[in-house]
Amino acid sequence: QDELQALYFIWRITSFIILEVIEHACAAGTLLQGESLQNISKDMDVVSYKLPLGVTAGICPFNFPAMVPLWMIPLALITGNTMIMKPSERDPGATMLIAELLNEVGCPPGVVNVSNLALIVSLYDFYINKILV
């Protein structure tokens, strides 16, 4: 009983934090605009632009498989970046589900990518260790 109450409490806190981050990301569009200063000198204006970085990456830990991607993905998308997520080998399901949901709601292909490289890394490690030994 106490364990279930603790899990429920953690779930409630986690969902609240996720909603706060998504709400901030939705409001961040106006904060990310450039600045414009008109007539700072004779015939001189200053304009600053905020440009996207391009490709961003995130690695999810096993203990927060849904919270960490939902911290990173909304902020990457609102700033105009693409995202490569590498879920934990122990629990890739949450990140894969988030990617499927983004696909269903119309996120363009290639904007959010999930790369589960656990098998490839373990095979590479096996062959490298076998060659070196």
CATH of the domain at 118: 3.40.605.10
- Chain segment 87-102, per-residue pLDDT in tens: 988 888 888 999 999 9
Q: Which of 56, 74, 68, 63 is nearest to 95 (CA)?
A: 68
Question: What range defines the domain where residue 93 resides?
Answer: 2-132
Sheet with 82-86: strands ordered across: 55-59, 82-86, 112-114
Q: Give me the number of domains the chain comprises.
A: 1
Neighbour-count burial for 81-90, b at 16+ CB within 10 Å, e otherwise: ebbebbbbee
Residue 130 has pLDDT above 60, yes or no: no
Question: pTM score, two decimals?
Answer: 0.69
Which amino acid, 93? G
